[in-house]
Amino acid sequence: MKEQTDQPAGHSTSAWALQWVAFLLKNVFGWALIVASFIIGPAIPGPGGIPVFIVGFALITFPGKRKLTARVLRGRPVDARSASYRIAATATAFLVPAAVLAYIELQWKLWRYATNELAIATFACYLAVAGLTLWVFWNGRLLNWLIRKVPVIRRRVRPWMRDRGIDLLPPRRRRRFVNVARNSTTTDFMDETILQLDQRHVTRMQHWSVVARRWGKKVLGVVLTIGIFVWILKPIVLNWDKVKDRIWEMNWGRVAIASALFAAYLFTFRALVWRRLLKNFGHKLPIWPTVRIWSTSELARYLPGSVWQVVGRVYLIKPYGVRGSVCSTSQVMELALYLLANLIVALGALTFLGWKSFEGRERTMMIVAAGLVPLLSLALHPKVFYTLADKILVALKKPPIQKRMRWKSLIDLLLWNVLGLTVQGLAIYLVVAELLQLPIAKWWVVTGAFCLSWCAGFLAFWAPGGLGVREAVFIAAMSFAIPHAVRSGQLQDPEQRQLFLIFLSVLLRIWATVGELLLTGLAYLLDWSGAKRGRGEVAG
């Protein structure tokens, strides 16, 4: 039987050339997205440029390049005469230099120095680079000459790699594929392997892969959080004398009252909302055990890793007969409702300033926030939410949710959350009114900025409790929300304004943490026996 070649039947050399160019474009576009993720990332709240980076990484690692790599390693030439190849090559020759020029212009902000002479010179350089790239692709001689040199290099490095347990492009193996769609016919194909490693290398890679999956995300989250905090706290350290004067000028009595008001807000509008959700799921718990469980699990979000808040609440509520699946589902619904309420308040408050007040990065934040509102509203609809929840629970071999909330009850809880955020805004006003010289009629300005920053901190899954991310977005949002009188007065200097906002964001973080600790301490004081036994007094 004649051995099948690595080129599939019916595929011409021009088709292979088109496949090669498609592979090239895919990787170029993937790398462009990876580079762009670092540029546009700071302008996107929450996960930032991480989704863009993931899409780019998926493109450059997409299956299909193993066969193309094997052809290049074997020195198979490209047919540069086919029309499809030349069309793809032309697009590559003009798009890639344009993308590079756009990146350089954005990175170094060259439009500030734009002149007619510079524009003409830039356009001439672009045409020269595009023309040279196009000639290299269309000619094909240089490209094929480079491809023919690859097997020579491969034969020289192969003995050195084999001595170290790595076989570069080992002999192809014939495998049999059963095509069920075509009457279970069998088809032989040649399996391409680029690198074949000794077992000791495979074992070592598997070990380090497990270690990387276990610790990589935690280490990356800690590094990112520390980096953001260094960026936030560096101006405070460098200007400590001015910050110290502001600390002494603070009315700490008002801050204490505001922290107590925030604790009351958490009790009335957060913990009791979760208790109402549990009641709708068929579990009526006493008030103070519910508050103790809720507040303790909320503090767990400051720990590295994103699971402790969920796991802690499931563990603490188990003595009350609430299944873990019900508790987790109620948490998802609670957080989705609260996130939607924050987005509504942030958009409703900050858009009073007018869209013309928003600059590039801040406008991007508001557009992203506006886009999330209909998505969350759709996801929270009972038919959508419970359908997805049941599918996930069935996949996890857990019983589905029995009692279900109606849309009217969800709207009631959403409006209750929105009302609670206005109360939270008044507490924030007590903290910042003296510093901002903000009249009571303008309390919604800082309320909207704080709600927007909370959304960004919540979506920043790598940062425990949104540490650093929340402060960074608050600074960006408040940079255009400060009243004009304050901006043109004591905060006329941009550096002083930035320092002031950083101090304000750190102060609000301390204020919120103190309020959470006050509620947790009060809950343990009123349910101490339940905390000691692992359960409180069960209702009824």
476-531 residue pLDDT tens = 777 666 656 555 555 566 666 667 767 777 777 777 788 888 888 888 888 787 76
Q: How far is CA 3 from CA 7, 151, 175, 188, 405, in A?
A: 12, 22, 12, 10, 64
Tokens of 357: 């007040």
- 114 secondary structure, DSSP code: -
Tokens of 359: 């600059």
364-378 residue pLDDT tens = 767 777 778 888 888
Residue 513 pLDDT: 81
CB 448 within 8 A of CB 345: yes
In sequence order, the 6+-apart residues with CB closer than 8 A to the CB of 371 are none
Angle at 292 (CA atoms; ends 455, 257), nearest 5 degrees: 65
Burial class of 6 by CB neighbour count within 10 A (0 to 12, 13 to 18, 19+):
middle
Within 10 angstroms of residue 8's Cβ, the number of other Cβ atoms is: 12
Residue 122 pLDDT: 75
Q: Which of 4-13, 118-127, 289-298 has the lowest mean pLDDT?
A: 4-13
Tokens of 159: 């003995």
- Exposure string (b/e) for 491-524, b if CB count within 10 Å is 16 or more? beeeeebebbbbbbbbbbbebbebbbebbbebbb
- 353 secondary structure, DSSP code: G
Q: Who wins on pLDDT, 211 or 292?
A: 292
- 535 secondary structure, DSSP code: S
Confidence of residue 11 (pLDDT cuts 50, 70, 90): very low
Residue 134 pLDDT: 78
CB 80 within 8 A of CB 138: yes
Residue 1 pLDDT: 38
Residue 341 pLDDT: 92
Q: Pick from 444, 453, 404: which is nearest to 425 by CA?
A: 444
Confidence of residue 60 (pLDDT cuts 50, 70, 90): low
Average pLDDT over residues 29-48: 62
In sequence order, the 6+-apart residues with CB closer than 8 A to the CB of 464 are 221, 225, 301, 302, 303, 304, 305
Residue 180 pLDDT: 44
Helix-then-strand count for the chain, H and E: 21, 4
Whether 190 shows a pLDDT value over 60: the answer reads no
User: Average per-residue pLDDT in the chain?
Assistant: 72
Residue 46 pLDDT: 45
Whether 10 shows a pLDDT value over 50: the answer reads no
3-state DSSP assignment of residue 158: helix
Confidence of residue 4 (pLDDT cuts 50, 70, 90): very low
409-437 residue pLDDT tens = 888 989 999 998 888 888 888 887 767 66
pTM, to two decimals: 0.56
83-133 residue pLDDT tens = 767 777 777 777 777 777 766 666 566 556 666 667 777 777 878 888 887
CA dist 535 and 506 (Å) reads: 36
CA dist 340 and 454 (Å) reads: 11
Whether 151 shows a pLDDT value over 50: the answer reads yes
Please report the DSSP string for 66-106 in residue order.
Answer: HHHHHHHHTT----TTSHHHHHHHHHHHHHHHHHHHHHHHH
67-89 residue pLDDT tens = 767 777 788 887 777 776 777 77
CB 264 within 8 A of CB 385: no
In sequence order, the 6+-apart residues with CB closer than 8 A to the CB of 178 are 184, 185, 186
Q: Pick from 296, 319, 320, 317: which is nearest to 308 by CA?
A: 296
- Exposure string (b/e) for 392-403, b if CB count within 10 Å is 16 or more? ebeeeebeebee
In sequence order, the 6+-apart residues with CB closer than 8 A to the CB of 197 are 165, 166, 167, 205
Residue 468 pLDDT: 61
CA dist 61 and 237 (Å) reads: 43
Residue 49 pLDDT: 59
Please report the DSSP string for 278-327 in residue order.
Answer: HHHTT----HHHHHHHHHHHHHGGGSSSSSHHHHHHHHHHGGGT--HHHH
CA dist 379 and 386 (Å) reads: 9
Whether 389 shows a pLDDT value over 70: the answer reads yes
Largest CA distance in the chain: 92
Confidence of residue 3 (pLDDT cuts 50, 70, 90): very low
- With pLDDT > 90 as the criterion, what percentage of the chain qualifies? 1
Whether 169 shows a pLDDT value over 50: the answer reads yes
CA dist 342 and 324 (Å) reads: 27
Q: Who wins on pLDDT, 167 or 413?
A: 413
